[in-house]
Amino acid sequence: DGGITQSPKYLFRKEGQNVTLSCEQNLNHDAMYWYRQDPGQGLRLIYYSQIVNDFQKGDIAEGYSVSREKKESFPLTVTSAQKNPTAFYLCASSITGFEKLFFGSGTQLSVL
Amino acid sequence: GQQVMQIPQYQHVQEGEDFTTYCNSSTTLSNIQWYKQRPGGHPVFLIQLVKSGEVKKQKRLTFQFGEAKKNSSLHITATQTTDVGTYFCAGPITGNQFYFGTGTSLTVIP
């Protein structure tokens, strides 16, 4: 069954801790994205990648890091520098970058 | 700052009433897409508009792309409880960065 898998569904972070959110796709898509969703603010772009080993910052990249070592995988690390990490994180992919986005089911990150 | 704005932010309608959400971009878009996110779910692609002045219909949903390719609208005729959710427009602003609008949350009262 093709699609995008995000894990875990819920994640808790302790102060000063880095946490990594997983995003895997088996759609053979080149482009992958990370969005942050806060209530009433829509989706804000954190990072995106068009090809392996290349990625670009979005509007709110501070406090986050990504890697794109494989086409299928685009993990997001929320670092301790991100002071307000509580949000719903959505990963998405598209064939080359201008086509429709396919979203994963999201990860809800909360701070303990 | 926010480059794709949507209004209204919230809309409550009685079942059977019509609903419209409007999307405005500060720049010309090569295309615009619409997504629906059910409560507790993730955004799901509805449609893409590419041509200036384009109108597309999906059953009770009508999508329009403005002549200047800077605005778009989604109109739902005779809303049903299954239409509940948040509707987002999205467009590529620079390069392959897809910017999403702020969304319109639709509540349908039975």
The string of pLDDT tens digits covering residues A82-100 is 989 999 999 999 998 778 9
**Considering only CA atoms, which of B55, B86, B57 is closest in space to residue B72?**
B55
Chain centre distance of CA B52: 16
pLDDT for B1 beyond 60: no
pLDDT in tens, B79-108: 999 999 999 999 887 666 788 998 999 999
The single-letter code of the amino acid at A71 is K
Chain B residues in contact with A92 by the CB 8 A cut-off are 43
**Considering only CA atoms, which of B95, B92, B90, B110 is closest in space to residue B43?**
B90
Distance between CA B36 and CA B97 in Å, rounded?
19
Report pLDDT for B20: 98
Q: Are the beta carbons of A90 and B44 separated by less than 8 Å? A: no
Region A63-71 average pLDDT: 97
Report pLDDT for B97: 77
Instruction: List the beta bridge partners of residue A23.
Output: A6
pLDDT in tens, B16-57: 999 999 999 988 888 999 999 999 999 999 999 999 999 999
* Average confidence score pLDDT of chain A: 93
Report pLDDT for B57: 98
Q: Report which DSSP code applies to A70.
A: B
Which residue of B31, B33, B88 is in closest CB contact with A43?
A: B88
Instruction: Summarize chain B as % helix, strand, coil (round to 5).
Output: 5, 55, 40
Report pLDDT for A2: 66
Closest residue in A to B39 (Cα–Cα): A39
Report pLDDT for B2: 53
- Burial of residue A63 (number of CB atoms within 10 Å: 0-12, 13-18, 19+): middle
Enumerate the H helices of A2-102 as residue ranges. Answer: none
pLDDT for A53 beyond 80: yes
Angle at B35 between CA B47 and CA B53, to 5 degrees: 45
Query: Is it true that the peptide bond before A8 is cis, omega within 30 degrees of 0?
Result: yes
Q: Between β-strands B19-25 and B61-65, what pairing exists: parallel, antiparallel or unpaired? A: unpaired
* Residue-level length of chain B: 110
Which residue of A43, A50, A106 is in closest CB contact with B100?
A: A43
Please, which pLDDT band fits residue A1 given cuts at 50, 70 and 90? Answer: low
Q: Which tokens belong to A62?
A: 């501070």
Region A52-81 average pLDDT: 96
Enumerate the H helices of chain B as residue ranges. Answer: none
Report pLDDT for A19: 95
Collapsing DSSP states into helix, strand and coil, what is residue B82? helix
Which residue of A97, A100, A105 is in closest CB contact with B42?
A: A105
Report pLDDT for A27: 96
Contacts of B94 (CB under 8 A, 6+ apart): none
**Whole-Å CA distances, A75 to A24, A32, A66, B15:** 8, 10, 6, 42
